[in-house]
Structure 1
């Protein structure tokens, strides 16, 4: 059986902040931009934006910081991908 899908992202230090003043809650997580998510999923950025604009929203969970700034948590993205995995020959999940 192939290994579970894993997203490998190296987190860059917060610009201008020393590691000891990194805000709590962000130390164990990595936030990605729409462009980074699109690159990881190998889709166009417009697809990711379209998923977000659907009602109800589609695609991975996102964090809207402002009208123009949207971020994605790597853990949420990985969970979203695992939920969409199809294993041929496996019993279908009950709806």
Structure 2
């Protein structure tokens, strides 16, 4: 193995470790803080949906999904209290439907 192949192998190994740590981090349960602000990726991980779903919901007309704040063209945040209210409003109680 020459030095170029060695460097490529090490870079690939590092990429695999990084992607695994991101996956394990996203699988951790997160407690929603009512006063907290969350990124699209954090909310997606909590809801166990892809971040592209949240982006699609935001750009739908009319907008769908949880309430959000657009800070700039590239920065959107979700408030913890809004997320809790949104999720509680989506809750279905099967005993109440009977």
Q: TM-score, with normalisation over the residues of structure 1? A: 0.67
User: How far apart, in 1, do the equivalents of 2:65 and 2:32 lie?
Assistant: 19
User: How far apart, in 2, do the equivalents of 1:40 and 1:65 lie?
Assistant: 21
User: What displacement does 1:29 show?
Assistant: 1.3
The aligned counterpart of 1:43 is: 49
User: What displacement does 1:89 show?
Assistant: 2.3
User: What displacement does 1:71 show?
Assistant: 0.2
User: How far apart, in 2, do the equivalents of 1:89 and 1:77 lie?
Assistant: 24
User: How far apart, in 2, do the equivalents of 1:86 and 1:74 lie?
Assistant: 20
Q: Provide Cα deviations, 1:18-37, integer angstroms capped at 9, x if missing partner.
A: xxxxxxxxxx7110000000
The aligned counterpart of 1:29 is: 35
Runs of 4+ in 1 over 4 A off after TM superposition: none
The aligned counterpart of 1:13 is: none
Larger radius of gyration: 2
User: Structure 1 residues 9, 79: CA separation in 2 closer, same or farther (over 3 Å shift)?
Assistant: closer
Q: Provide Cα deviations, 1:30-87, integer angstroms capped at 9, x if missing partner.
A: 1000000000000000001000010010000000000100000011001000000000
> What is the number of residues matched between the two proteins?
69
